[in-house]
């Protein structure tokens, strides 16, 4: 037994003296592998006198357990601190960073610019009733603009809003003039999709109602907005148009930022890009919400948010905004 105790002390001292993870592993191989010293001690059991065999076997077994535990705890210690397991020359892993969606960025720009001009932000539901989309917007049941082809109807006479103009009515019926609001939000149309049209897109409605509001204020407001958004050299033009809810009405074009009005593929050689509709609020709308149209006048506009973003970021296909392709989104 004395000899065995010496062997035990030598082995355990040798293991404890390991100074690294690699050295500890070498000791495991030296003592506990198939041909390791402790493993080989088991092979000697058969040579021991029968009366001592049990004691010998127990001793070797305990030695193996002790050596095993010791090696494991040393390995644990070295794997936490050892430089061998941490390669300091590897480049660090940067945390993945997200980016804002370009439509969110342009919406934030819109809100910031119009807030500075005194507009507050209003909202309305995307599921609307025919009253807010048609009747209150001066499109009675016989009106051709009420055709169902580009509206998406739901059950119980409800429909997905086709334009944010419904928020004009919802805002005005809630209070008394003056009103000065913008209403950015999603709209839906039963449309064939292409590079400039999608069935789901966003608009930003604008409404200003007060005493003595004139068309020149509408022009000034939009002119200022586009200059802040696209730069001071931006030129806009108004083309006469028809909307049932404004009179007079116009479409607003912005000089193509890409070719500076000379004509290019983006603006289809016209030098202009159509971004929205606008006009003076039709007196019928004011009357529909109980506002005296002799006393108050107003202007309204509706801008396509995707179109604004296409211009700002030079995006040639509107569908890119909703495809969730990270190669596109990572650029912003
Ligand atoms: C309207 O929706 C009117 N409500 C705008 C308005 C508001 C006029 C207030 C007067 C007063 P329009 O259908 O032209 O108008 O759409 C306005 C803008 O939305 C367009 O100029 C365009 O920028 C954008 N737009 C229209 N249809 C689509 C579409 N399918 N995909 C993407 N953008 C669209």
Mean pLDDT estimate for the chain: 92
- Can you spell out the DSSP letters for 305-316? HHHHHHHHHT-S
Q: What is d(CA 150, CA 132) in angstroms, rounded to the nearest whole number?
A: 16
Ligand 1, atom nearest to 164 Cα: 4
Q: Which two tokens stand for residue 18?
A: 């390991």
- Residue 59: the pLDDT is 93
pLDDT digits (tens, 9 = 90+) for 190-223: 999 998 899 999 999 999 999 999 999 999 999 9
Separation of CA 276 and ligand 1 centre (Å): 5
- Residue 309: the pLDDT is 95
Separation of CA 203 and ligand 1 centre (Å): 7
Which residue in 15, 2, 5, 17 sits closest to 60, CA to CA?
Answer: 5
Q: Is 306 in the pocket of ligand 1 (CB under 6 A)?
A: yes
- Residue 239: the pLDDT is 96
pLDDT digits (tens, 9 = 90+) for 257-267: 778 788 887 77
Q: Is 298 in the pocket of ligand 1 (CB under 6 A)?
A: no
Residues in the chain: 332
pLDDT digits (tens, 9 = 90+) for 128-164: 999 999 999 999 888 877 776 689 999 998 999 999 9
| Structural fold of domain 102-329 | BirA Bifunctional Protein; domain 2 (3.30.930)
Q: What is d(CA 83, CA 321) in angstroms, rounded to the nearest whole number?
A: 47
User: Regarding predicted confidence, which is higher, 94 or 43?
Assistant: 43
pTM over cut 0.85? no
Cβ-contact 21, 84 below 8 angstroms = yes
Q: Which residues contact 200 (CB under 8 A, 6 or more apart)?
A: 186, 187, 188, 322
Separation of CA 331 and ligand 1 centre (Å): 27
pLDDT digits (tens, 9 = 90+) for 269-294: 888 888 999 999 999 999 999 999 99
First-last CA distance in the chain: 77
Q: Is 246 in the pocket of ligand 1 (CB under 6 A)?
A: yes
Percent helix, percent strand, percent coil in the chain, to nearest 5:
45, 20, 35
């Amino acid at each position: 037994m004395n000899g065995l105790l010496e062997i035990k002390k030598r082995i355990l001292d040798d293991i404890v003296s390991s100074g690294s993870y690699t050295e500890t592993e070498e000791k495991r191989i030296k003592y506990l592998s198939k041909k390791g010293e402790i493993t080989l001690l088991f092979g000697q059991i058969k040579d021991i006198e029968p009366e001592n065999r049990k004691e010998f076997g127990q001793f070797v077994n305990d030695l193996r357990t002790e050596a095993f535990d010791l090696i494991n705890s040393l390995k644990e210690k070295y794997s936490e601190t050892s430089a061998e397991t941490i390669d300091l020359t590897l480049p660090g892993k940067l945390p993945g960073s997200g980016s804002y969606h370009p439509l969110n960025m342009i919406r934030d720009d819109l809100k910031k610019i119009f807030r500075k001009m005194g507009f507050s932000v209003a909202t309305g539901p995307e599921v609307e009733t025919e009253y807010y989309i048609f009747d209150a917007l001066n499109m009675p049941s016989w009106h051709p603009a009420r055709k169902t082809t580009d509206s998406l109807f739901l059950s119980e006479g409800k429909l997905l809003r086709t334009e944010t103009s419904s928020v004009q009515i919802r805002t005005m019926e809630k209070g008394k003039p003056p009103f000065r609001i913008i209403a950015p939000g999603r709209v839906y149309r039963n449309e064939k999709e292409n590079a400039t049209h999608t069935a789901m897109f966003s608009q930003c409605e604008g409404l200003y109602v007060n005493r003595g509001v004139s068309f020149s204020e509408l022009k000034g407001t939009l002119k200022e907005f586009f200059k802040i958004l696209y730069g001071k050299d931006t030129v806009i033009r108004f083309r006469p148009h028809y909307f049932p809810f404004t009179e007079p009405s116009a479409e607003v074009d912005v000089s193509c930022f890409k070719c500076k009005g000379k004509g290019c593929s983006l603006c289809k050689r016209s030098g202009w890009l159509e971004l929205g509709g606008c006009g003076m609020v039709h007196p019928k709308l004011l009357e529909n919400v109980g506002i005296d149209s002799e006393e108050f006048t107003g202007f309204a506009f509706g801008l396509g948010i995707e179109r604004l973003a296409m211009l700002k970021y030079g995006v040639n296909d509107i569908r890119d905004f909703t495809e969730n392709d990270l190669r596109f989104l990572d650029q912003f």
